[in-house]
Chains A and B, each alone.
Chain A
């Protein structure tokens, strides 16, 4: 009995190996930090600015909150939402055919390779660069932001939908195949009914992310709340920054709440 226990213990990987790996890892981290980071001193001015900023966050500018014109908080929050929402919807519509072209179940191998490569490159292309290019194309404004979001979310939703297609139950499709249906009928009757729940939940998840990301597009003039935020920070108008940040927080939380609720009700139906 004792021998068996000892055998088992010997087979178990030694603890010290883990510790050595951890130590090497931490040492590498420190080394990397030494190469890159320049530690700057915290200046007195910096501390004063941060204090002013925090005070501003706690006392948001009521003028801005109650202003209903395009310079007011409400309009900017709605514009940010609109950019995220439209980007997600158009991206989702575009991603449906792309996902079918990327999946090996619905398209031949060489088509898959081309489209997966295309989608991966588009997905990894820096968002800020896409935004800049669209600003140069259609001029600065929320439309450029919408187009940027479309590109970004198309890549992401295509990937997620593709994964959902791979997980499908093949029996239905095979049965339709056996009864002589063509590709479109197979997609319509065999795949879409299985896919719709997963896709809706992906789209809602993406809406979450897009609304959050839409708030930084203003950095390059692509609309949304970001432009006013950057201006406010640059000119040290902390009360306005406070109001804008509270606007972002409430918008993102609301979207998250609604989308989680809908996603939960979808998954509980299955």
Chain B
């Protein structure tokens, strides 16, 4: 019993009749499992996880939900503008960000013989920006442009640009370059070559990237109002601090319905695009 347990971690050695010693291959899985369990315990300590507290006070969560629903429908005319703002902000931001991102992603993929220092330096720059949450962009643009929807749109644009560029250049590097070289050998200019040989290969992926970023941007645009970048977040914050939970319920309901509807539209669009 104990012996079996030990050999989960220490590989067995066998002595063959001809005197040769054979060692079992080391199995890494048990070590990884122990590492993950240790990490979980450590993280529970740091994050102060306490499920007893959750069970004891869990009813507060549902108390808030019951205060929010049924929601106050009369609030709709007042929040209509903010919701529309959020949708337009994310739509504009996603489209403009992806439009700028496309040529840049061609420029920094390695298969077009662009000087290496340009590709590497712009990739480092992009990666640094890509890891920052959208809220940070919003905060910085808020300093520059002041409060308002323009700030939010700029934040979404920059954020979308970094994500779209990363996804596109990784995809462009996997395309088939044969057609490109064939057209280049006929003497066509570089933009012409890209337009006829590369673009048809990447356009499906590109449009599905646009839809994907649009979907995630509408979701994250709700946070932007918190740092003064316009949209539904401002309404959310104000109704919360006024403790008007019925109004808050309507805001949350509208946001949820919008995201679900957009997800369905995006899925429909992607299915259509995959046929093209």
Contact = CB atoms under 8 A, between A and B. Distances in A.
Contacts of A82: 42-44, 46-47
Interface in B107-159: 127-128, 131-136, 139-140, 143-151, 153
A252 B131 contact: yes
A142 B153 CA distance: 30
B144 A32 contact: no
A42 B139 CA distance: 15
A75 to B, nearest CB: 8
Nearest to B45: A82
User: How many residues of A sit at the interface, in one of the four size bands?
Assistant: 35 or more
Task: Choose among B43, B44, B50, B146 the residue with the greatest number of A CB atoms under 10 Å from its CB.
Answer: B43
B95 interface: yes
18 contacts: A37-B148, A40-B145, A40-B148, A40-B150, A49-B143, A79-B46, A82-B46, A86-B49, A129-B248, A137-B61, A138-B57, A141-B48, A143-B53, A143-B54, A216-B133, A216-B223, A233-B139, A249-B132
Contacts of B139: 230, 233
A252 B127 CA distance: 10
Contact of A132 (B91, B134, B140, B240): B240
A34 to B, nearest CB: 10
Given A37-B92, A137-B60, A146-B47, 6 more contacts: A36-B88, A136-B60, A143-B53, A219-B135, A248-B131, A252-B131
A35 B84 CA distance: 10
Interface residues of B, number: 62
A49 B144 CA distance: 8
Contacts of A183: none
Nearest to A145: B47
A253 B40 CA distance: 21
Contacts of B40: 85-86, 89
B87 to A, nearest CB: 9
Interface of A: 29, 32-33, 35-40, 42-43, 46-47, 49-50, 53, 78-79, 81-83, 85-86, 89, 120-121, 124-129, 132-134, 136-139, 141-143, 145-147, 212-213, 215-216, 219-220, 223, 226, 229-230, 233, 245, 248-249, 252-253, 256
B256 interface: yes
A136 B64 contact: yes
A40 to B, nearest CB: 5
Given A132-B240, A143-B47, A36 B58 contact: no
Dominant secondary structure at the A interface: helix
B236 interface: yes
Given A86-B43, A133-B61, A134-B61, A50 B140 contact: yes
B148 A121 contact: no
A223 B43 CA distance: 13
Task: Choose among A37, A49, A81, A147 the residue with the greatest number of B CB atoms under 10 Å from its CB.
Answer: A37
B256 A124 contact: yes
Contact of B50 (A47, A143, A223): A143
B144 A42 contact: yes
B104 interface: no
Contacts of B136: 229, 245
B39 interface: yes
A253 B220 CA distance: 21
B133 A215 contact: yes
B160 interface: no
A267 to B, nearest CB: 14
A86 B145 CA distance: 38
B173 to A, nearest CB: 15
B53 A138 contact: yes
Contacts of A145: 47
Given A32-B88, A124-B260, A128-B236, A42 B128 contact: no
Task: Choose among B47, B91, B263 the residue with the greatest number of A CB atoms under 10 Å from its CB.
Answer: B47
Contact of A86 (B47, B50, B89): B47
Given A50-B140, A248-B131, A249-B132, A121 B260 contact: yes
Interface string B29-65: 0000000100110111011111001100110110011
A124 to B, nearest CB: 4
